[in-house]
Amino acid sequence: MKNLRVTFIALGVWLAVSTALVTLLPLEQAMPYLLLGLLLPAGVFAVERFRSEARTPPPPVAAPITPAPPEDLTEENLRRAFGDDSVAPAWRPKHEVSPAPVDALERLGGSPAFLAPVEYWPRCRHCKLQLTFIMQVAVGPERPLRYPQEGTLYVFLCQRVDPDVLDGAICPCHDVDLGAECCFVQTRPAGFLGLAVDTNHPRLAESYAVESWESRPSVRMPPGVATPEQYRLNAGIAGGFTIQVGGFADWMQDDATPGPCSCGAPRELLLQFSEFTADLNLGGAGRAYVYACSARHAPEAFSLFWQTS
């Protein structure tokens, strides 16, 4: 505002001087002086604009968040910072270096093992292509992935990418039940578990065998702006996160918790994973969420969708 005020003063001076010149001199003689006089308010405006920009401090740069050290990530400390309702148990896999042994019961990527013969390999409802096998994880009454019987959860996802198509280059999977995924449980038969490895269908190139599941707390960030301590603690928990069983969803966008299952029971978060290998496409730095019917009413009562930032 100050530069405009000074400019108007200079313009007023120019008008007063111009009026006097036109009164004292013929218009032809006064015209050069009038034109030169216009430079005065223009010059004043430019100088004041430059000075005001120089006086304006640059916007503050947000300092990077320093993750909290492991000794601060105790359940007691997290409950104090987030509240009892915003802290829940979760598990993350400890896995071997690729490739996974063919007899690994729990595996990420590669070919599915111990999969009973299926008449039709799962296909995408949109592009009609075969889905890509993503992972298999053990389920059971006493396992992190709860299920009434011992078995294995198989996860498939459409990985079609058409760079020549502007719209629909990736089959939609931003919500449950869109048909670009397939998740189901095969219960374990009594007796010896026969090894069967399917290498004839789409799969991720790299594979990792899950050795064990490590218990890690999960927190739910408050809506809106969190405190600096909450940001630090959440960064410490999220460090190196690629796959997590249980806990709270770490949303890439808005909360997209799906509605009830077709049986009427609410759905609960079972598993979430990011792009744990280079050839897994979740929209680029995305994250997938596997939800299950809380009643576990059927082996296929699981749904998957993903978000990207």
Mean pLDDT, each 10-residue run in order, the chain (309 residues)? 56 60 61 60 60 59 80 94 94 85 87 78 91 94 90 93 71 86 86 60 90 91 89 86 90 91 93 92 90 92 92
Question: pTM here?
Answer: 0.75
pLDDT of res. 117? 73
Determine contact, residues 293/263, Cβ cutoff 8 Å: yes
pLDDT of res. 159? 92
Give 166: exposed, middle or buried? Use CB within 10 Å, 0-12, 13-18, 19+: exposed
In sequence order, the 6+-apart residues with CB closer than 8 A to the CB of 121 are 130, 131, 201
